[in-house]
Structure 1
């Protein structure tokens, strides 16, 4: 799956500053509330979902990247929010490194099992040092969006090449 299938340009924030993980989750809740009717998913419920998931284990991926996630009680499509922080945030990550790149995923409750492999794939791609370097250097939300579009195209090309190699191997056997 592509980043740009669940992330939209209007869900990208560049140069954000938060004093704590809690204030960041509250801010994310307000962003989500503006996308989904408040009666269906109030910001407090989004905050609670992110916060409670974090209690189960830190969603820091290492290398200054985190991928917090929560379940959406409504909807049929996952939502992503990307935050580039201007000042790294203490995130209690296993590698003890502060976090400055956050890729939030919110998945409809009935679709969680369908997204397990997607979350694993995203977490691997988000820790790519080249991608992280580009995302950190981005000066605008538009630039971040272009980086994700480029990363998706490169990933797609890589998958096509692997598929072609696999087909060639199968044909020669």
Structure 2
């Protein structure tokens, strides 16, 4: 599944400014709640934090893919956030993170979930794409980068 088909313009946030892992996850939860109004932001945050307790979703090179599973949702919700300043996120390479591609996925659809994560992780290995994400100064510019990339 391609990132450009998963992210809507309201879920693309450039130049966000937070100073901790917990605060960026809280913001992701708030953003997800706006898209999933029947699910409280606390339930969403709990799903994200539960996954982080298993091990950081920071995959290295300044990138994290926080995600959580929820019952009662039908489709994957994806969000892309780029932090103005990198945040300590306990990534595997011990480097701070500035690109966050977050997912809220339906409980139980493990195969689709894993395929989506693998495809997005592979796309995020593209240095040129990540550079474009990092250079987007507005939400609109960030969304245009995501939508302009029909290869991923």
Q: Per-residue CA shift, 1:69-113, capped at 9, x if unaligned?
A: 001222211001111100100011111111000000111113232
Give me the whole-angstrom Cα distance separating, in 2, the residues matched to 1:120 and 1:102. Answer: 15
SS at match of 1:101: strand
Residue in structure 1 matching 2:87, options 61, 73, 89: 89
Residue matched to 1:2 = 2
Residue matched to 1:24 = 24
**Residues 5-154 of structure 1 mapped to structure 2, 5 A cutoff:** 5-37=5-37, 40-151=38-149, 153-154=150-151
The 4+ residue runs of structure 1 with deviation greater than 4 A are none
Structure of greater relative contact order (alpha carbons < 8 Å, 6+ residues apart): 2
Give me the whole-angstrom Cα distance separating, in 1, the residues matched to 2:79 and 2:70. Answer: 14
Question: Any stretches of 5+ residues in structure 2 without a counterpart?
Answer: none
Give me the TM-score of the superposition, normalised by structure 2: 0.94
Post-superposition shift, 1:141? 1.4
RMSD: 1.3
Post-superposition shift, 1:21? 0.7
SS at match of 1:154: coil
Question: Any stretches of 5+ residues in structure 1 without a counterpart?
Answer: 156-173
Contact 1:70–1:106 (CA under 8 A) maintained in structure 2: yes
- Structure showing greater radius of gyration is 1
The worse-fitting range, judged by mean Cα deviation, of 28-37 and 76-85 is: 28-37
Give me the whole-angstrom Cα distance separating, in 2, the residues matched to 1:88 and 1:14. Answer: 13
Contact 2:2–2:151 (CA under 8 A) maintained in structure 1: no
